Amino acid sequence: MIFENEEYTSIIGKSTLPNFNKLAKQYALLTNDYAVGHPSLPNYVALTSGSTQGITSDCGSCSVNATNIADEIQSSGRSWKGYMESMPSPCYLNSSSGYSLNHNPFIHYNDIKSNTARCQQHVVPLTQLDTDLKNHALPSFAWITPNLCNSGHDCGATAADKFLGPEVSKIISSSSFDQNSLLIVTFDEGSSTKSCCNLPSKAGGRIATILISKLVKPGYQDATAYPIIQYSKRSKLPGA
């Protein structure tokens, strides 16, 4: 579940954001996590493919030929879906009120975008999540992008916090969220150009990332420096 444009220090420790901070205390918090750059889309692509794939802007309808996390999951025989709040219909190929293509990484991979049947099956409106939870049909990997208000992009961190609380509660109280499940709450980028760990000297800022799982140590804080492009390379869950 990914939110927008807030530095770590704008989220953690803020009494005006009770849901983010409650979860950070209850579960595991990455305290030294960094985005790769600005603006949004390069970070979304890096999160889902391990590289920005040469994308340096919010280029809307642009797409690349690149192996991505959806390919790897599907080739292993497991299932995946991207749930996009305010997306008008599955695999919608234009931005619309509340929904931005720049916050949907899957639509930027040619092997998903150009395969209409695959795209419509796997890249769906967030309303589908309720149905999948009710039918015990949550995929092995689920990506959730809130709309432009609830992600904090247009309406600020307070709106994001209000969205976060009930959405997380709904997911983790579902029977689909079992002993081996992990919910990652993170941000695409911060508001600064802070950098770390082999990223360019000016990167995407320090971001808050919370790992929600029955396997983590409650209140654990991991100070390891993580750029977001390393997510897919982790072999162990921090705090486990």
Relative orientation angle of helices 156-172 and 18-26, to the nearest 10 degrees: 50
N-term to C-term CA, the chain: 20
Overall number of domains in the chain: 1
Distance of CA 224 to the CA centre of its chain: 19
- The low-confidence residues of the chain, meaning pLDDT below 70, are 228-240
- What tens digit of pLDDT does each residue of 179-201 get? 999 999 999 999 999 999 889 99
The CA distances from residue 232 to 47, 82, 216, 235, in Å, are 8, 17, 18, 8
Tell me whether residue 205 is in a domain: yes
User: What's the confidence (pLDDT) of residue 240?
Assistant: 44
- Which position among 58, 154, 161, 222 bears the catalytic label? 154
Residue 227: which domain range? 2-233
Dihedral sign for Cα 7, 8, 14, 17, please.
positive
User: What's the confidence (pLDDT) of residue 230?
Assistant: 54
> What single letter denotes the amino acid at residue 123?
V
User: What's the confidence (pLDDT) of residue 233?
Assistant: 45
Tell me whether residue 238 is in a domain: no
- What tens digit of pLDDT does each residue of 20-42 get? 999 999 999 999 999 999 999 99
Tell me whether residue 239 is in a domain: no
Tell me whether residue 240 is in a domain: no
> What single letter denotes the amino acid at residue 143?
W
Q: Which of 88, 104, 85, 206 is nearest to 150 (CA)?
A: 85
- What tens digit of pLDDT does each residue of 92-104 get? 999 999 999 999 9
CATH number assigned to the domain comprising residue 7: 3.40.720.10
Residues 6+ apart with CB under 8 A from 175: 136
User: What's the confidence (pLDDT) of residue 226?
Assistant: 81
Tell me whether residue 210 is in a domain: yes
pTM of the model: 0.94
User: What's the confidence (pLDDT) of residue 232?
Assistant: 43
For residue 58, indicate whether it is catalytic: no
